[in-house]
Amino acid sequence: MSLRVFITGAAGFLGSHLADAMLELGHDVLGCDNLIGGYKDNVPEGVEFYEADCTDLKSMQDITRDIDVLYHAAAYPHEGLSVFSPSVINNSIYQATSTVLSAFIQNKGKRFIFLSSMARYGINQTPFTEDMPPKPFDPYALSKVASEDLIGLLSDVFGYEYVIAVPHNIIGPRQKYDDPYRNVAAIFINRMLQGKQPIIYGDGEQKRCFSFIQDCINPLKQLIVKENVHKEVINIGPDDEFITINELAQTTAGLLDFDLDPIYFPERPQEVKEANCSSEKARRLLGYETTYSLKKGLSEMVEWIKSRGPKPFDYYLDLEIINDKTPKTWKEKLM
């Protein structure tokens, strides 16, 4: 059965890959993006694309007419920056979600799939499981959790179905790699290709798992038709290869045959030391499995960035709060 599927952030990393998957399944795919955090050439051919901002209610009402399913992937996913630019980050998440959701309800959409973040768990025992109460530790996470709550509350009133999907630390082709505020693997690759040492905050012993994009898309694309996922929170991503940022730098340098000698800066405020999600629920409900090792995923990302060429970093979002706690790398544009 062909559905009309709308994807916010369709020019972004995750949104564009979702659009590919929906087209391959034979659905009619529509999408929007304000093109601030994505690349126009990410949008797959065949998508009915609109350059629009998710905070513009009139635009969202007009372009989400007659849709069945909406994936809300658009956001400025900047955890660290949100501490110093809470207004712009929260506007792109909570305000955007409330606007998109209002249009979706007005246009009688059937299922709303929200792409949340592992940041929702904050400081919790690892691996994070979906039954843990959220403990947001920065404004970005706080806005994601507030958006989840809003989606649940209005579903109780208006009767649409929803799913909270929690992808985390995704890597792969199409990721914005000239952003100095986020995407650590992409930043490392971009700097090394320019002959520059990677910048690491704190001691580099922060631990994360990294997800290759296609391993996330496979379970996410099932959410449009699954009958047992209404009101569910589902982590999407691996719970193995739990590595430090230092190890990520070493692996990346090995792929590029780069002589590694990282530059260390003071740790950033409100950065969680260890963040890792359990994949058990996704395995049970969606048959989730990893097909890419970290090294294989990084190697494909390296080849894609090489093909486009390294870029200077673009400080495209303003710092709202500048003081002695603001990372020097951002204040002085050292990336």
**pLDDT tens-place values along the chain, 335 residues long:** 799 999 999 999 999 999 999 999 999 999 999 999 889 999 999 999 999 999 999 999 999 999 999 999 999 999 999 999 999 999 999 999 999 999 999 999 999 999 999 999 999 999 999 999 999 999 999 999 999 999 999 999 999 999 999 999 999 999 999 999 999 999 999 999 999 999 999 999 999 999 999 999 999 999 998 989 999 999 999 988 899 999 999 999 999 999 999 999 999 999 989 889 999 999 999 999 999 999 999 999 999 999 999 999 999 999 999 999 999 999 999 98
Residues 131 and 256 both lie in one domain = no
Q: Which residues have C-beta within 8 Å of that of residue 332, sequence separation ≥ 6? A: none
Residue 303 is assigned to a structural domain of this protein = yes
Residue 149 is assigned to a structural domain of this protein = yes
Residue 287 is assigned to a structural domain of this protein = no
Residue 245 is assigned to a structural domain of this protein = yes
Residues 88 and 190 both lie in one domain = no
pLDDT attached to residue 192: 98
Residues 58 and 146 both lie in one domain = yes
Residues 115 and 127 both lie in one domain = yes
- Other CB atoms within a 10 A radius of the CB of residue 266 amount to 11
Residue 152 is assigned to a structural domain of this protein = yes
Residues 87 and 132 both lie in one domain = yes
DSSP H stretches of helix in 107-183: 139-158
Residue 29 is assigned to a structural domain of this protein = yes
The number of domains in the chain is 2
pLDDT attached to residue 37: 87
For tokens 């956001």, the residue is 75
Please state, in angstroms and rounded to a whole number, the distance separating the CA atoms of residues 301 and 190: 10
pLDDT attached to residue 1: 78
Please state, in angstroms and rounded to a whole number, the distance separating the CA atoms of residues 166 and 184: 19
Predicted TM-score (pTM) of the model is: 0.95
DSSP3 helix / strand / coil % (the chain, rounded to 5): 40, 15, 45
Q: Which residues have C-beta within 8 Å of that of residue 213, sequence separation ≥ 6? A: 13, 14, 17, 170, 171, 172, 173, 174, 175, 297
Residues 220 and 253 both lie in one domain = no
Residues 221 and 204 both lie in one domain = no
Looking at residue 325, which CATH number applies to its domain? 3.90.25.10
Q: Which residues have C-beta within 8 Å of that of residue 102, sequence separation ≥ 6? A: 57, 60, 61
Residues 228 and 310 both lie in one domain = no
Residues 315 and 253 both lie in one domain = yes
Residues 13 and 160 both lie in one domain = yes
Residue 281 is assigned to a structural domain of this protein = no
Judge contact between 154 and 218, C-beta under 8 A: no
Residues 149 and 120 both lie in one domain = yes
Residue 60 is assigned to a structural domain of this protein = yes
pLDDT attached to residue 250: 97
Q: Which residues have C-beta within 8 Å of that of residue 299, sequence separation ≥ 6? A: 255
Looking at residue 152, which CATH number applies to its domain? 3.40.50.720
Judge contact between 94 and 140, C-beta under 8 A: no
Residues 63 and 204 both lie in one domain = no
Instruction: Print the domain residue range for 124.
Output: 4-171+211-236
Which amino acid, 88?
V
Determine phi and psi for 234, rounding to 5 degrees. Answer: -135, 120
Beta bridge partners of 199: 263
pLDDT tens for 251-273 read 999 999 999 999 999 999 999 89
Ramachandran assignment for 202, one of left (phi > 0), alpha (psi -120 to 50 degrees), beta (any other) = left
